[in-house]
Structure 1
Amino acid sequence: MPVIFFDIGATLADPHVEPDGSLTLQPRPRVMAVLDALRDVRRGIISNPGPGDGAVARAAAALHEAFPDRFSDEALVHWGAKDSRVIFDQAVASTGGTAADECVFVGEDAAERAFARQVRMRTAAHPVFALAAMENRPVFRARTELPDGLGLQELTAAVDESEAVVMQVVSERLALVMVTAQGAGTLTRAGFPVDVRGPVDDTAAFPVRDDKPVSAAETLADAPHRAP
């Protein structure tokens, strides 16, 4: 049975340190819906709890407070640095026999996803694409145009109902997105033409922190690429 492991910070939730030193996690948009849709799939965590004594205990408490009953298998919860393949090897070993290529790591950091792929795990840059990764369907970088009569509100509504994530609004008429082929079709049918540029994991330059706009110069310079 497949197992999906999630990073926490900037992927599942945004962390906040309270005045008393405790940690709270604010789930990011669409995450709870994704986890609910994956209720029958084994789920785990691969995340760095930060430095200091008690960091793991604080992170674990915050995780269970923010996501009650969603990460209940403690054997699949791994705390530590994701700066080599080591923690990903440990995660695969903890599944009780699931093959590495049946495991998925979901995290916004391209370097961490590269370490996961070294152990043959599948990867996704955003929780919305966890199912696509589990089913071995690719996710693409793309641009979409906002035609006359349709604005950001309509684009957001279309994205929220599909395998797509808006990464940056470049102008009133152009947005950068991540999409599966299914998501691209949904956006196109909603009136937003999609220009696919290439697989997400082919580059570390594409922004995946959807709350932090960045320069799109390198992304926009990519040569067009059509999804298969």
Structure 2
Amino acid sequence: MEQRLANTWQMTVNERKFIEMALAADLRVDDRGPFDYRPCTITFGRVGGSSEVQLGETHVMSYVTSQLVQPYRDRPNEGTLSIFTEFSPMADPAFEAGRPGEFAIELGRIVDRGLRESGAVDMESLCVVVGKLVWSIRVDLHILDNGGNLIDAANIAALASLLTFRRPECTLGGDDNHELIIHDIEDREPLPLIIHHLPVAVTFAVFGEGNIMV
């Protein structure tokens, strides 16, 4: 996956041999050790639910939005979480503008699967009226620069934006107690998402005869 999402630059045979020899000596061309992560910087936006992640040379921006929708029939008391990715042609010559390509869809699926199957976000807390209304959380990932480790950077950006996102509080009122009231920020403090844990993606590769891991 990471190889297919890598940029279009191709190394020569001599460059490949040099890297393999360096790794065999526990050295890397950027002075990192075999198990050292790329330098990571997380910047949070002024508006809650937005973040930018710089992981090495890779730059990803994330933004979270929400809306009230009908729940799935088989999960009437759970909200929904969806991941969407946008690849800018300026981030990598291999990316094309317009409709999401195979790479963008696959990256979104991997990040989505990591968050969903790990149970990171409490989906039941997003239920407003069982079987009728739940919160749908959408995470938009914008790839601004692809310098490798794209899965890791996108995953961190999604987590950072989810942690700072706040949704409006809503209650049931009216004469019959069936009227949905969505409170403004001035009336009631917006609510954060309930996040149980932080599943962080870490990409690794095996070289040589399978005895060198980076």
Give the TM interval when normalised to the shorter protein.
under 0.3
Q: Which structure features the higher share of strand residues?
A: 2
Query: TM-score scaled by structure 2?
Result: 0.25
Which structure would you say has the larger Rg? 2
Q: Which structure features the higher share of helix residues?
A: 1
Does 1 or 2 have the higher relative contact order (CA < 8 Å, sep 6+)?
2
